[in-house]
């Protein structure tokens, strides 16, 4: 039983369905692994062990349900997603005691598919960060080297999957917050097309950017989770009413990469890219060519403007979304305030961390009278040009490949005093959020100098997740098997 946690989601699901492993054994294996690794990784804010074990026993008494594709599979949820009856803090003191009375749609769909939610994952406060050092509760560490960051803001989700504490986790991606920790932690992370997965029940940071996606140890596992959580939801006005492909069966339709054209943007492969990341990613591209893919150069000339555009839009939207946390309706409330403005000020100052306050202030500034046209409107115009960049690039290729991040995971504390350098970590990921397109990080090697994982980013046209997953699956099966970290 002690080795069950090493199985992939697909493997454990098959073992449970065939009766070779009980749901209780699968859950206990993950909980034992949490007990073993959590003191050094700090991936979780809370576990749901009593309820999870009770649910596992009930499921074992019923027997496997072939109609539920994730029957008995232990999964962790990023703490930005509402979970009925379980605290959802968003990594913030202002929501320290908030317990939702409903499940986010993505969480509800996991439960309907038979998954067992065993824990909530740590995160950067309100998903604002690239390292999971901005959580109000704890710093999460990378299972490959606990002196290094796991990436963020879904660092808890990335670390818990990499450490073997669960078989999959849900993360959210506003500017790379699934793909960056997936790259740093050596796992698969998928950001779907905007609108493919319902955002209902997700505590919003940037409403036009946020997207929920799976974080797993294999491409097939991500395809299984995505097939469950994807689809239209009437409760989310940004959800797209479009048929969801059978991502799992589609994987079988491609055995090699022949017929695929892969675009290589020069903006992602040049200056600023570390040697070890370049080496690992280029070897993966060479393998893709051996498997029949054709590679062509493409131009994403607006990439240099992506960071500024993203942070103007994201901070503006965060200032609007976080206005609801005022100390009156729910969340932390200062008890010593004498008047309304004082209540707002004290409650928000005590409840929000430095990074959240920084983004709210900047966002309010760019939306203010006299500055809106100069900043927000201009950013919205450049955003359209960024999307046009991708649309033109995809005229000459099926997928675009590049590194997920310029570096491998760096030591904890290295960039906490320099927010601008921290923001630059997202240079290769944020354009997809601005364009609303799907992308994923696939582990393709370990840095020759750092010994830390390297992720290759695969980008696709809107709603072409199936093509993206097919290519990643073929590549994954033809690269050396990626190991789990030794904790």
The rounded distance, in Å, linking the Cα atoms of 81 and 85 is 12
Annotated catalytic residue: which of 135, 153, 239, 431? 153
Annotated catalytic residue: which of 130, 154, 177, 450? 177
> Are 30 and 118 contacting, i.e. CB atoms less than 8 angstroms apart?
yes
Tell me whether strands 116-121 and 188-191 are parallel, antiparallel or unpaired.
unpaired
The rounded distance, in Å, linking the Cα atoms of 366 and 362 is 6
Annotated catalytic residue: which of 78, 111, 120, 191? 78
Q: Tokens for 167?
A: 């078989």
The rounded distance, in Å, linking the Cα atoms of 261 and 233 is 33
> Is there a catalytic annotation at residue 222?
no
| C-alpha dist (Å) from residue 58 to 31, 61, 86, 154 | 17, 5, 20, 31
Half-sphere exposure of 32 (CA within 13 A, CB side): 12
DSSP 74-115: EEEEETTB-BTTB---TT-GGGTT---SS--HHHHHHHHTT-
> Are 178 and 222 contacting, i.e. CB atoms less than 8 angstroms apart?
no
Q: Tokens for 252?
A: 């079988």
> Is there a catalytic annotation at residue 237?
no
Crossing angle, helix 49-62 and helix 23-41, to 10 degrees? 160
> Are 166 and 72 contacting, i.e. CB atoms less than 8 angstroms apart?
no
Q: What is the largest CA-CA distance in the chain?
A: 70
Q: Is the peptide bond between 153 and the residue preceding it cis, with omega within 30 degrees of 0? A: yes
> Are 234 and 268 contacting, i.e. CB atoms less than 8 angstroms apart?
no
> Is there a catalytic annotation at residue 154?
no
Distance of CA 202 to the CA centre of its chain: 13
> Are 114 and 121 contacting, i.e. CB atoms less than 8 angstroms apart?
no
**Which positions ≥6 away from 468 have C-beta within 8 Å?**
399, 438, 439, 440, 458, 459, 460
> Are 64 and 17 contacting, i.e. CB atoms less than 8 angstroms apart?
yes
Instruction: Give the residue numbers marked as catalytic.
Output: 78, 153, 177
């Amino acid at each position: 039983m002690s080795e069950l946690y090493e199985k992939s989601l697909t493997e454990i699901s098959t073992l449970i369905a065939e009766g070779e492993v009980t749901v209780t054994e699968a859950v206990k294996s993950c909980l034992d692994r949490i007990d073993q690794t959590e003191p050094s990784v700090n991936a979780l804010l809370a576990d749901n062990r009593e309820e999870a074990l009770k649910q596992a026993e009930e499921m074992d008494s019923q027997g496997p349900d072939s109609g539920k594709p994730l029957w008995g599979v232990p999964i962790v949820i990023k703490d930005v997603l509402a979970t009925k009856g379980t605290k959802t803090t968003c990594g913030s003191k202002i929501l320290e005691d908030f317990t939702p009375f409903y499940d986010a749609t993505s969480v509800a769909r996991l439960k309907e598919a038979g998954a067992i939610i065993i824990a909530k994952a740590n995160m950067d406060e309100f998903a604002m960060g690239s390292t999971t050092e901005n959580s109000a509760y704890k710093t999460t560490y990378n299972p490959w080297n606990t002196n290094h960051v796991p990436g963020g803001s879904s660092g808890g989700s990335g670390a818990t999957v990499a450490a073997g504490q669960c078989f999959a986790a849900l993360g959210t991606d506003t500017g790379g917050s699934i793909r960056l920790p997936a790259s740093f932690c050596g796992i698969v992370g998928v950001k779907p097309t905007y609108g493919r997965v319902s955002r209902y029940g997700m505590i919003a940071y940037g409403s036009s950017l946020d997207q929920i996606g799976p974080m797993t140890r294999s491409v097939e596992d991500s395809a299984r989770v995505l097939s469950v959580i994807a689809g239209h939801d009437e409760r989310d006005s940004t959800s797209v009413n479009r048929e969801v492909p059978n991502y799992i069966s589609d994987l079988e339709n491609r055995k090699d990469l022949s017929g695929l054209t892969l675009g290589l943007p020069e903006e992602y492969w040049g200056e600023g890219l570390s040697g070890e990341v370049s080496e690992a990613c280029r070897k993966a591209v060479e393998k893709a060519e051996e498997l029949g893919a054709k590679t062509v150069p493409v131009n994403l000339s607006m990439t240099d403007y992506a960071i500024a555009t993203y942070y103007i839009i994201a901070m503006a939207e965060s200032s609007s979304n976080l206005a609801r946390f005022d100390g009156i309706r729910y969340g932390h409330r200062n008890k010593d305030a004498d008047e309304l403005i004082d209540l707002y000020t004290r409650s928000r100052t005590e409840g929000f961390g430095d990074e959240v306050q920084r983004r709210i202030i900047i966002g309010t500034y760019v939306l203010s009278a006299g500055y809106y046209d100069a900043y927000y409107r201009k950013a919205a115009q450049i955003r359209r040009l960024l999307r046009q960049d991708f649309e033109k690039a995809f005229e000459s290729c099926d997928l675009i490949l590049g590194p997920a991040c310029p570096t491998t995971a760096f030591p904890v504390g290295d960039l906490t005093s320099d927010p601008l350098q921290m923001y630059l970590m997202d240079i290769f990921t944020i354009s997809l959020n601005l364009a609303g397109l799907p992308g994923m990080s696939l582990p393709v090697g370990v840095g020759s100098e750092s010994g830390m994982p390297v992720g290759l980013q695969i980008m696709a046209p809107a709603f072409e997740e199936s093509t993206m997953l097919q290519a990643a699956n073929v590549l994954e099966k033809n690269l050396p098997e990626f190991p789990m970290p030794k904790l």
